[in-house]
């Protein structure tokens, strides 16, 4: 499967280069997710670097003096992606002698026409016309529908099953902005250790957790059994220095499966998952 980087979504709409860089967070996250997927390519035109980001500046004109480390990372990441193969216009699939029309515009020889013919989605930058929507593209008497993806949430909603997105990405995207934070989850005890059904049980329980009215109602939920992890010192699963000063809590997401973490403000920071209840038996 391929995603086509949408050059039409850069049409000089940003007030400054910094404003463009600030807008990149969702699309860069989508690129990172796709790069971690097997057999997924992000295709683009060869001269994508010449796309306009402001009225006067092209992508290749973008200056990075004085920007934050995060924005610098965005710029360097995007540069690598834009100049890297594959470039679909080296061997296009759509017939450029025909007209492809979108909202009254001729979009022949663009990623929109190529996406229509190849039945692939677009990956778009921040633009009112292209953000998380379905485009209707006409060619002669035939109508094509093309998804234009801008945010990780839309990517997950539309293509989460089709492209086998890594579970850690699913958790980060699904629970962004909620009281569950999976950014601290340790790889050795993360979602990859779970069987498919167990992962589904985890998602169902985390959904329940975030939909509770309050922390008080979470504590009263007999199904969750949300409580402090209280082992003896020799059995403590969280003995390291990095856990010092943290009150480790746990809750169940099946009869034997447990989730461990700690609360910070209004967030529950997930650290580890347990499959067999042996750790929980000691605390």
Residue 66 has pLDDT above 80, yes or no: no
User: Distance between alpha carbon 52 and the CA centroid of its chain, in Å?
Assistant: 25
- What stretches of the chain show up as alpha helix (H) in DSSP? 17-22, 25-35, 69-83, 111-118, 152-159, 167-174, 196-211, 215-219
Q: Do 274 and 187 fall within a single domain?
A: yes
Domain boundary, last residue among 100, 127, 153: 153
How far does the chain reach from its first CA to its final CA, in angstroms? 47
CATH number reported for the structural domain that contains residue 182 in this entry: 3.30.2310.20
Q: Do 183 and 218 fall within a single domain?
A: yes
Ranges 21-30, 220-229, 269-278: which has the least confidence = 269-278
Instruction: Tell me if residue 229 falls in helix, strand or coil.
Output: coil
Q: Do 213 and 274 fall within a single domain?
A: yes
Q: Do 87 and 140 fall within a single domain?
A: yes
Domain boundary, last residue among 153, 188, 205: 153
Q: Do 138 and 30 fall within a single domain?
A: yes
Q: Summarize the confidence of residues 172-185 as an average pLDDT.
A: 96
What confidence category does residue 164 fall into, taking pLDDT thresholds of 50, 70 and 90?
confident
Q: Summarize the confidence of residues 232-249 as an average pLDDT.
A: 87
Q: Do 7 and 76 fall within a single domain?
A: yes
Per-residue pLDDT at 62: 86
Mode of pairing for the β-strands spanning 100-102 and 41-43: unpaired
For 211, the domain range is 167-282
Q: Summarize the confidence of residues 98-113 as an average pLDDT.
A: 97
Q: Do 63 and 183 fall within a single domain?
A: no
Count the domains in the chain: 2
For residue 160, is it within any domain?
A: no
Q: Summarize the confidence of residues 165-180 as an average pLDDT.
A: 94
Per-residue pLDDT at 281: 64
Residue 280 has pLDDT above 80, yes or no: no
What confidence category does residue 52 fall into, taking pLDDT thresholds of 50, 70 and 90?
very high
User: What Å distances lie between residue 98 and 44, 94, 144, 160, 207, CA to CA?
Assistant: 21, 8, 14, 33, 48
Residue 283 has pLDDT above 60, yes or no: no
For residue 123, the cross-strand partners are: 5, 149
How buried is residue 69: exposed, middle or buried, by Cβ count under 10 Å (0-12/13-18/19+)?
A: exposed
Q: What is the mean pLDDT of the chain?
A: 93
Q: Summarize the confidence of residues 117-132 as an average pLDDT.
A: 98
């Amino acid at each position: 499967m391929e995603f086509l980087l949408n050059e039409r979504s850069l049409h000089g709409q940003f007030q400054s280069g910094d404003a463009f860089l600030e807008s990149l967070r969702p699309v860069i996250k989508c690129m990172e997710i796709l790069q971690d997927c097997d057999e997924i390519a992000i295709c683009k035109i060869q001269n994508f670097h010449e796309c306009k980001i402001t009225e006067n500046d092209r992508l290749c004109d973008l200056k990075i003096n004085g920007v934050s480390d995060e924005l610098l990372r965005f710029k360097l990441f995007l540069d690598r992606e834009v100049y890297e193969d594959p470039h679909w216009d080296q061997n296009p699939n759509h017939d450029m002698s025909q007209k492809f029309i979108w909202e009254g515009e001729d979009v022949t020889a663009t990623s929109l026409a190529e996406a229509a013919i190849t039945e692939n989605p677009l990956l778009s930058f921040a633009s009112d016309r292209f953000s998380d929507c379905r485009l209707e593209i006409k060619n002669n008497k035939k109508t094509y529908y093309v998804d234009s993806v801008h945010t990780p949430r839309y990517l997950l909603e539309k293509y989460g099953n089709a492209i086998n997105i890594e579970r850690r990405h699913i958790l980060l995207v699904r629970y962004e902005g909620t009281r569950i934070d999976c950014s601290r989850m340790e790889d050795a005890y993360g979602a990859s250790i779970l069987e498919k059904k167990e992962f589904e049980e985890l998602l169902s329980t985390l959904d329940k957790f975030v939909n509770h009215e309050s922390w008080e109602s979470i504590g009263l939920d007999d199904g969750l059994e949300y409580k402090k992890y209280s082992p003896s010192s020799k059995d403590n699963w969280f003995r390291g220095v990095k856990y010092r000063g943290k009150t480790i809590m746990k809750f169940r997401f099946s009869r034997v499966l447990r989730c461990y973490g700690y609360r910070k403000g209004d967030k529950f920071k997930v650290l580890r998952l347990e499959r067999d209840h042996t750790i929980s038996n000691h605390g």
